[in-house]
Amino acid sequence: MEIARTLAQLGAAREALTTAGRRGLALVPTMGALHAGHLSLLRAAQSEDYAVVASIFVNPTQFGPGEDFARYPRDEAHDCAMLAQAGCDLVWLPDVGTMYPPGDATVIEVGGPALGWEGAVRPGHFRGVATVVAKLFGQVQPDAACFGEKDWQQVQVIRRMTEDLALPVRIMAVPTWREASGLAMSSRNRYLDAGERVKASALFAVLSRARDAIRAGELVAASVATGGAALAAAGFAVDYLALVDAQTLAPLDRVVGEARLITAARLGTTRLLDNVAI
């Protein structure tokens, strides 16, 4: 597995990477602190015959003031060992100056699916995500890029941006990888203490119950109210629990077309996200 830390190294490694007989190159963008969910993104790309470039960059612009940028887990050696083991072809490890060079003056502002939910709770978050992803696309020039459905809204924001800017990258959304308890895998799960980890499984259980109730014909407002109360009883502070249009993220009061039940809730100081298809 090659490791590139500068644009020159990336260019050379990308050139040397043989995609002959393969479908092309897929990017797996990450912020490191890798877990089985990230490896499932890698496998999704490999199973479709792509050579894989994984990027690791804890992107400062997608964190708000007072968020966990400083304490976000960083373990480059362990991450690289996991990627090598998983058959990753190339790791892209840019520094802040490479991603945001002196004089940097361009951002990507996405409206539409970026406006509510995470966009409302974390102002500027999706501007940071869209900007860094656009930069990674420009640097790596992948044919495809893989994102986890755990961050459902992020996937829709990136799809919107890719379509609007006519970027020649196929966006692959990969199903959420879960622990045996149902907890969606996330680098931030490392913040949970043992007691919180047990409580955290309530998030997926509550989502699943609300999904089943909605599918069985219960009013969306009633299912969401019951779910919110159950999360509060389990010790969560709920930022939102809502039924939305799967692509636009517009709120829905009944199921029309493709709908998604999305939630974000805090357990102690840890913010957890999850979602299910209806």
Q: So which residues are the catalytic ones?
A: 38
Shortest reach from residue 148's CB to ligand PAF, in Å? 7
Q: How far apart are CA 250 and CA 175, in angstroms?
A: 21
For the packed helices 220-233 and 202-215, what is the interaxial angle rounded to 10 degrees?
Answer: 160
Helices (H) and strands (E) in the chain, counts: 10, 9
30 touches ligand PAF (CB under 6 A): yes
Q: Quick one: 145 or 230, whose CB is closer to ligand PAF? A: 145
Q: How far apart are CA 33 and CA 56, in angstroms?
A: 9
Q: How far apart are CA 219 and CA 206, in angstroms?
A: 16
275 touches ligand PAF (CB under 6 A): no
Shortest reach from residue 105's CB to ligand PAF, in Å? 20
Using CA atoms, how far residue 126 sits from 106, 161, 272, in Å, is: 14, 11, 17
Shortest reach from residue 18's CB to ligand PAF, in Å? 26
Shortest reach from residue 211's CB to ligand PAF, in Å? 23
- Number of residues in contact with ligand PAF under rule CB under 6 A: 10
26 touches ligand PAF (CB under 6 A): no
Rounded to 5°, the CA angle 259-247-170 comes to 130
**Amino acid identity at 145:** A
Shortest reach from residue 183's CB to ligand PAF, in Å? 17
- What lies within 8 Å, CB to CB, of 90 at 6+ separation is 1, 2, 3, 4, 13, 14, 17, 51, 52, 53, 54
Which positions from 59 to 98 touch ligand PAF by CB under 6 A, shown as an x/- string?
x--x------------------------------------
Give which of 123, 117, 124, 136 is closest to 56, Cα–Cα.
136
Q: Quick one: 132 or 265, whose CB is closer to ligand PAF? A: 132
Shortest reach from residue 187's CB to ligand PAF, in Å? 8
Kindly report the three-state secondary structure assignment for every residue of 120-157: HHCCCHHHHHHHHHHHHHHHHCCCEEEEEHHHHHHHHH
114 touches ligand PAF (CB under 6 A): no
Q: Quick one: 154 or 270, whose CB is closer to ligand PAF? A: 154
- Using CB under 6 A, pick the residue from 14, 26, 29, 113 that binds ligand PAF: 29
Which positions from 128 to 167 touch ligand PAF by CB under 6 A, shown as an x/- string?
-x--xx-----------------x--x-------------
Locus of tokens 């002196």:
102
SS3 69: coil
Using CB under 6 A, which of the segments 12-20, 29-37, 71-79, 81-89 binds ligand PAF?
A: 29-37
Q: Quick one: 133 or 276, whose CB is closer to ligand PAF? A: 133
31 touches ligand PAF (CB under 6 A): yes
- Strand order across the beta sheet in which 270-277 lies: 237-245, 259-267, 270-277
- Residues in touch with ligand PAF (CB under 6 A): 29-31, 59, 62, 129, 132-133, 151, 154
